Amino acid sequence: MSTQTTTPAEKDRPEAIIIGSGTGVPSKRRVCPAILVRAEGEIMLLDTGPGTLATLLHQGVTYTDIDRIFYTHMHPDHCADMTSILFAMRNVEPRRTKPLHVYGPQGLKGFYHDLNRVYGNCLTPKTYELNLTELREDELSLGGWRVKTSAMNHMVPTIGYRLEFSNGKVLVYSGDTGYCENIVGLARDADVLVLECSFPEDLRVEGHLVPSMCARIALESGCKTLVLSHFYPQWEAYDILEECRKFYDGGLVLAEDSTKLPL
């Protein structure tokens, strides 16, 4: 067995790690949605479902480390741990000092305002700066890299994210969505496309994807690697790979909690 050595270039290489490949339904195998991204010298999160902050400890990440959080939508399975994260950042020693940038769909600021009202301001930052940004069809230039967003097809305002890193690699994340042209456009030629694949083909639910739709998005966008996540427990009666291979024979990863996606 060879010992693995990491060169400096590999160490700085962007990487996404699936923190939770599940949904809001309790599962011993899959926790709620969150993706950790280490890139551009920053620690970023895409969604923070319940339990994210504690689960991140297994990746060596805690509340003092997080630079940016990108929310797709404000359903609890995707955003409930915003409360735990802001609570820790305000109240726990050692105190957080660096700014936190939080992005989300229309309604993010109202959501934050309401959380503060409900919790009697025990989430309001004291020792660091919190920047909230609402996005729709947007493009942000963040130094040497960029973020693009587009509206998805879900029951509440939802945006998908396209992260274009300075090394030329592209990561796209749908959050929750049904099939729509916007996700195809957002995912154009992406290196890694993370799509929700909530249900098997015959249990399709409006506003969510099934394997044939994920395959269609992957084929139409020309993504290099398709990553499927957000599996409801209904999937446990199926062979997910077999179901997906009926529609797609390209690069495919079925997410588990802790799946690493090099970029």
Residue 133 beta carbon to Zn ion: minimum distance, rounded to whole angstroms: 20
Nearer to Zn ion, 40 or 176 (CB): 176
- For residues 121 to 160, the per-residue mask of contacts with Zn ion, x marking binding by CB under 5 A and - elsewhere, is ----------------------------------------
Q: Which stretch binds Zn ion (CB under 5 A): 14-22, 142-150, 170-178, 180-188?
A: 170-178
Closest to Zn ion by CB, 14 vs 50, is: 50
Residue closer to Zn ion, measured from CB, 30 or 38? 30
Least Å distance, CB 92 to Zn ion, is 28
Distance CA 78, CA 132 (A): 17
Q: How far apart are CA 165 and CA 66, in angstroms?
A: 18
Interaction residues for Zn ion, span 68-87 (CB under 5 A) = 75, 77
Q: How far is the CB of 201 from Zn ion (least distance, A)?
A: 19
Please name the residue that has the structure tokens 């996606």.
261
Choice from 40, 81, 164, 176 touching Zn ion (CB under 5 A): 176
CB of 32 to Zn ion, least distance (A): 8
- Comparing CB distances to Zn ion, the nearer of 176 and 191 is 176
Name which of 254, 239, 250 is nearest 197 in CA terms.
254
Q: Does 30 bind Zn ion (CB under 5 A)?
A: no
- Our measurement of the distance from residue 151's CA atom to the centroid of its chain's CA atoms, rounded to an integer in Å, reads 15
* Residues at the site binding Zn ion, with contacts judged by CB under 5 A: 75, 77, 176
